[in-house]
Amino acid sequence: MYTCRGLLALAFSTIAMVLSTAPVSAAPAAVRTVKADVSHTLGPHSDVPLKVVGAGRAAEGLRADWQGQLDTVQDEIGFKYLRMHGILNDEMAVYDEDKQGNPIYNFQYVDALYDALLEKKIRPFVELTFMPSKLADGTTTVFWWKGNTSLPKDYAKWAGLMRALMVHWKERYGEAEISKWYYEVWNEPDIRGFWPHPLEDYFKLYKTTSEAIRAECAKCRIGGPATAVPYASEQAFEKWIIENPAPIDFIALHAYGVEQGFLDEDGTAGTIIDPDPERVAGRMRHSRELMDAGPLRDKELHFTEWSSSYTPTDYMHDQYHQASFIMNVVKRATPHVDSLSYWTFTDIFEENGPRFTPFHGGFGMLNLQGIKKPSFHAFRFLKRLGDTDVESNDAASWVTKSKDGSVQALVWDYSPVVPPKGQTDQVFYKKEQPTTDKGNLALEITDMTNGTYRLDIYQIGYKQNDPYTAYVEMGSPNQLTRTQVSDLNAVSTGAPVFTGKVTIANGQFRREVPLRANDVYEFVLTPLE
């Protein structure tokens, strides 16, 4: 357990570690040198990494703790769009019928949710799921909260619901506003749990939905198929829509970083991280290449779900390794996509039912108590990057500069750790995972403006913004006291591990720090004159 004395000792030891350039042993430490010349720019910095983020389901968004966590995310990171399941679920009370079978619409819960999102300066990326039970031709459902996966019993009534939604949103928010949203038809129709029907039935649903939306909003952006399995289903959809024209503004797809599987409906799947650093980003790049080779080359490509694993029981989501995984994917994928929706911002997520422990391998950047995981800090690091990319010699780095003369450098080590034979992520990553030494990291930046700068160095890694390790050392309690929550928050503040003044002469900056496996560093140089 981290006591106050332990926290103080950790802070001082971390600062000493960052400032030290002397090796522990007599042999010189290997040095990885990242070099950048700020005069060699690559163009504007992309908004792709922070454009969209995911959440579980719409009804969860009506909870006070969920909205409080979204406030934290928006205050410290600031995404532009939020995507979630279940806006049409029965618990959102959108659709009913009278005794004669006439539709009755009710959008009050949706209004409460979307009003809250817009107040927090985040727009809906509308995923149109699931089927209201009164409109469904069957009773098949998915997850603890029973999203209905049936077909519409009447496609005209489904189209009527789509048009009624669009009319309502136009009246409430204005056509100019809702034209800035995205509208995604269904979720993973290539996975039987979400769509126990032939893919051709999805095509019919897509055409009906997209035409109904377009009839009420000429500029609204519509897309699909939000498929999970590369690459056959997305190619089948693209082939179909070319041969059967329907409104299409973007392709939506999903990608996860484990070796096999796509859906864990009851939380019992065993997953293993794929060590290939191209597992996720390579899938994204190839999907873009497939689009570019055909008539859809001018359409946007959005990955509306992605993470290391598709199950909310994979403890890598809680570990420090997740931060370097995020950096590896985001840097490699950004040139090829229009958005990357990390799944998800919060562990308030109930596909497998309410969770019984504060850390359980959940998708979120924040756990149930709002404790910031390493993944949260990874996106906070991305937020601090500047407005212009700068060329560097190292692929596992991202150097930027800002109009005010400040320079930012993200550098990371991505060393995926595969569980030993016979173990899954659910077993292996549940345990404390000490890191290994990888020598030193040197950052060299040239052609800077001479003068005095404030240097802030931030770090994510083992026992550095790493509340899960602290939780394990507490004994992994099933329930947390207020003091324990406070202690865990205290080891994951995101504060700099070093802050000080540096003088730049001859336009050159150099700083060396120790590097461990899966460390993520951010250096921020801010002019003081």
pLDDT at position 29 is 76
Q: How far apart are CA 465 and CA 459, in angstroms?
A: 7
Asked whether the beta carbons of 337 and 288 are under 8 A apart, the reply is yes
For 312-366, how does the pLDDT look when each residue is reduced to its tens digit (9 = 90+)? Answer: 999 999 999 999 999 999 999 999 999 999 999 999 999 989 999 999 999 999 9
Residues 6+ apart with CB under 8 A from 284: 253, 255, 301, 303, 306, 333, 336, 337, 340
- Whether the predicted pLDDT of 270 surpasses 90: no
Q: How far apart are CA 417 and CA 300, in angstroms?
A: 34
Beta bridge partners of 182: 125, 221
What six digits make up the tokens of 286?
Answer: 């190839």
- Whether the predicted pLDDT of 510 surpasses 90: yes
pLDDT at position 306 is 98
Among 150, 154, 217, smallest CA distance to 183 is for: 217
Q: Which entry of 60, 188, 216, 305 is annotated as an active-site residue?
A: 188
Between 108-119 and 155-173, two packed helices, what is the crossing angle to 10 degrees? 40
**Which CATH fold would you assign to the domain 48-384?**
TIM Barrel (3.20.20)
For 106-145, how does the pLDDT look when each residue is reduced to its tens digit (9 = 90+)? Answer: 999 999 999 999 999 999 999 999 999 999 999 999 999 9
Work out the pLDDT band at 1, boundaries 50, 70, 90. Answer: very low
Strands 451-460 and 498-504: antiparallel
Among 442, 444, 509, 443, smallest CA distance to 29 is for: 442
Work out the pLDDT band at 20, boundaries 50, 70, 90. Answer: very low
- Whether the predicted pLDDT of 261 surpasses 70: no
Q: How far apart are CA 372 and CA 217, in angstroms?
A: 39
Asked whether the beta carbons of 440 and 29 are under 8 A apart, the reply is yes
Collect contacts of 484-487 with beta carbons under 8 A, ≥24 apart.
485/369, 485/371, 487/1, 487/2, 487/3, 487/7
Asked whether the beta carbons of 69 and 320 are under 8 A apart, the reply is no
> Can you spell out the DSSP letters for 91-158?
GGT-EEE-TT--EEE--HHHHHHHHHHHHTT-EEEEEE----GGGBSS--EETTTTEE-PPBS-HHHH
- Whether the predicted pLDDT of 73 surpasses 90: yes
Among 117, 64, 49, smallest CA distance to 87 is for: 117
* Percent of the chain with pLDDT strictly greater than 70: 93
pLDDT at position 412 is 99
Is position 91 annotated as part of the catalytic site?
Answer: no
Q: What is the DSSP letter of 273?
A: B
For 229-255, how does the pLDDT look when each residue is reduced to its tens digit (9 = 90+)? Answer: 888 899 999 999 999 999 999 999 999
Work out the pLDDT band at 17, boundaries 50, 70, 90. Answer: very low
Query: HSE on the CB side for 405, CA within 13 Å?
Result: 15
Residue type at position 157: K
Work out the pLDDT band at 21, boundaries 50, 70, 90. Answer: very low
- Whether the predicted pLDDT of 209 surpasses 50: yes
Encode burial over 220-232: b for 16+ CB neighbours within 10 A, e otherwise.
Answer: bbbbbbbbbebee
Query: Assign residue 451 a region: left if phi > 0, alpha if psi is -120 to 50, beta otherwise?
Result: left
pLDDT at position 267 is 67
Q: How far apart are CA 132 and CA 88, in angstroms?
A: 6
Find the range with the poorest average confidence among 6-10, 67-71, 310-314, 392-396: 6-10
- Tokens 């320079």 sit at which residue? 407
For 484-504, how does the pLDDT look when each residue is reduced to its tens digit (9 = 90+)? Answer: 999 999 999 999 999 999 999
For 373-383, how does the pLDDT look when each residue is reduced to its tens digit (9 = 90+)? Answer: 999 999 999 99
- Whether the predicted pLDDT of 281 surpasses 90: yes
Asked whether the beta carbons of 511 and 499 are under 8 A apart, the reply is no
- Tokens 């720090």 sit at which residue? 513
* Percent of the chain with pLDDT strictly greater than 90: 90
- Whether the predicted pLDDT of 372 surpasses 50: yes
Asked whether the beta carbons of 265 and 196 are under 8 A apart, the reply is no
For 28-41, how does the pLDDT look when each residue is reduced to its tens digit (9 = 90+)? Answer: 779 999 999 999 99
Q: Domain residue spans in the chain?
A: 4-44+388-527, 48-384
Beta-strand (E) ranges in 328-406? 339-342, 388-392, 397-401
User: Would you state the CATH architecture of domain 4-44+388-527?
Assistant: Sandwich (2.60)
Q: How far apart are CA 488 and CA 485, in angstroms?
A: 5
Which carries the bigger pLDDT value, residue 423 or residue 74? 74
For 428-469, how does the pLDDT look when each residue is reduced to its tens digit (9 = 90+)? Answer: 999 999 999 999 999 999 999 999 999 999 999 999 999 999
